[in-house]
Structure 1
Amino acid sequence: MRVEPADIEALFDAIPDVLFFIKDRQGRYTHVNQTMLRRLGLRARKDVIGRTAAEIYPTGLSADYVDQDARVLSGEVIENLMELHLFANREPGWCLTCKRPLVVDGAIEGLIGISRDLGQKDSLGAQYEQLRLALAHLNAHYAENVRMQTLLDITGFSLSKLERSFRKVFQMTPQQVLTRLRIQMAMHLLHGDDSIACIGQACGFSDQSAFTRKFKAETGFSPRAYRARIGGGVGEPALA
């Protein structure tokens, strides 16, 4: 039995909180669902098909998407990556993204992916604003020693409720969310020329070995190997 991409596309049209897309080896969209069109403020698939993320998203977002695509097209699988997306009101919101290589006759011919909304306001009720403030604090202070008590003060939650709410919305604990934010910022900075030790410190890691260990756990690469893959930076000592 052969399943056509258009059939999958039609299935995902019925799911309003999930973006679905297929791209070719050049990163150009070949299939998208209606949710993605609504988020972009577009009416027809023809307005997206054949274009890349860099052509339809703001620079700050598209750079991440293009980098992810390059990793997946080289064979990497991305699972549950927490990232910012634009919603229908053009406001940013958090999603979990999964991308996989699209293999045809043993060769990678493109990629297929989904991005699922994380806990939107309508489904969270009164908890939404408290969690939004907690996430905003983590996002603003990821480079610092973030104390759990600060998040409890911001939300007014007990520790168990905070952990439970984060797991419900983000499928991660507050500490895991903080680590994910730090790693995502480090991935940005590795495009530049700062040393790996400086980047680790700037992203809130206590020492270079801790940074390297966490980075590899999240991405599958050491910071040095990741930098080499993306062609960023300058020569680095072998420690990273």
Structure 2
Amino acid sequence: MAIAIAADELESLFDALPDVVFFVKDAAGRYTHANLTLVRRLGLKRREQVIGHGVAELFPAHMGGSYAAQDRRVLGGETIDDQLEVHIFPNRAPGWCLTRKHPLRVRGKVRGVVGISRDLGRPDARDPTYERLRRVIDHLQQHYADNVRMAKLAELAGVSLAQLERHFRNVFQITPQQALIRLRIEAAMHALGTEGSIADVGVACGFADQSAFARQFKATVGMTPSAYRRMTSTKE
């Protein structure tokens, strides 16, 4: 009962945050709580249209399967922290976010999943390290398809590797490695609208081979490159 009350209160609090998705799921992967941001991003109007349903019922099959696989990992006791993801909204516009999912334990046993997805906001240009980090971003934008070394990025910023990651999180909310993944995935999403082969798209965007490309793309976008290509080809 106490857990249900706490979740109800959190649901109400997160209703006031349009840039954060909040949810709780039971051991079967069905939503027991969902804030209004999630409801609206599903293209629905009422919370009751979400509660009691699983991701397979609410998301397209090629995305729901990926989210369900995440839930199974968490129900098995794993914690997912700051997973960089692209969420495809009902109008098919992509939005970048960081997702966290934790096991919901009752008397020591995993009884569900609690999670949030937070939209990535604008960089903090007021941070004193912003200008030197812009040099790193410029380098990544020019060389994302190359074999980028984190040590080189730290050298460009004039800081240690540990400092680079800390400053990056402060300014951009993500790590340098996640920034590189974002650039590569964004380039791939654009290139998949062309007629090039999926393997060629992956290599052109900096991935070692088609397998590595497909694995990272699905982990980030929630669907395979081929499924994304099919979805965007029917956009009109």
Would you say same fold, with TM above 0.5?
yes
How big is the alpha-carbon RMSD for the aligned residues of Structure 1 and Structure 2?
A: 4.1
Provide the residue aligned with 2:87 in structure 1: 85
Residues 39, 90 of structure 1: 8 Å contact kept: no
Q: State yes or no: 1:2 paired with 2:5.
A: no
Residues 103, 109 of structure 1: 8 Å contact kept: yes
Provide the residue aligned with 2:209 in structure 1: 202
Following the alignment from structure 2 to structure 1, what is the Cα–Cα distance between the partners of residues 88 and 23?
15
Provide the residue aligned with 2:34 in structure 1: 32
Provide the residue aligned with 1:41 in structure 2: 43
Provide the residue aligned with 1:51 in structure 2: 53
Matches within 5 A, 1:67-82: 67-82=69-84
Question: Unpaired segments of 5 or more residues in structure 2?
Answer: 126-136, 159-163, 185-206, 213-236
| Residue 18 of structure 1, aligned match among 14, 17, 20 | 20
When residues 180 and 71 of structure 1 are mapped into structure 2, their CA distance, relative to the original with a 3 A threshold, is farther
Following TM superposition, by how much is the alpha carbon of 1:147 offset from its aligned partner in structure 2, in angstroms?
7.8
Question: Unpaired segments of 5 or more residues in structure 1?
Answer: 125-130, 152-157, 183-199, 206-240
Residues 23, 33 of structure 2: 8 Å contact kept: yes
Provide the residue aligned with 2:100 in structure 1: 98
When residues 176 and 47 of structure 1 are mapped into structure 2, their CA distance, relative to the original with a 3 A threshold, is closer
Following the alignment from structure 1 to structure 2, what is the Cα–Cα distance between the partners of residues 109 and 100?
11
Following TM superposition, by how much is the alpha carbon of 1:177 offset from its aligned partner in structure 2, in angstroms?
3.5
Provide the residue aligned with 2:172 in structure 1: 169
Q: State yes or no: 1:178 paired with 2:185.
A: no
- Please tell me the residue identity of whatever aligns with 1:168: V
- The percent of aligned pairs where both chains have the same amino acid is 48
When residues 180 and 204 of structure 1 are mapped into structure 2, their CA distance, relative to the original with a 3 A threshold, is farther
Structure possessing the higher relative contact order (Cα contacts under 8 Å, 6 or more residues apart): 2
When residues 78 and 181 of structure 1 are mapped into structure 2, their CA distance, relative to the original with a 3 A threshold, is farther
State how many pairs are aligned: 171
Secondary structure of 2:21's partner?
Answer: strand
What is the TM-score normalised by the length of structure 2?
0.58
Secondary structure of 1:97's partner?
Answer: strand
Residues 100, 111 of structure 1: 8 Å contact kept: yes
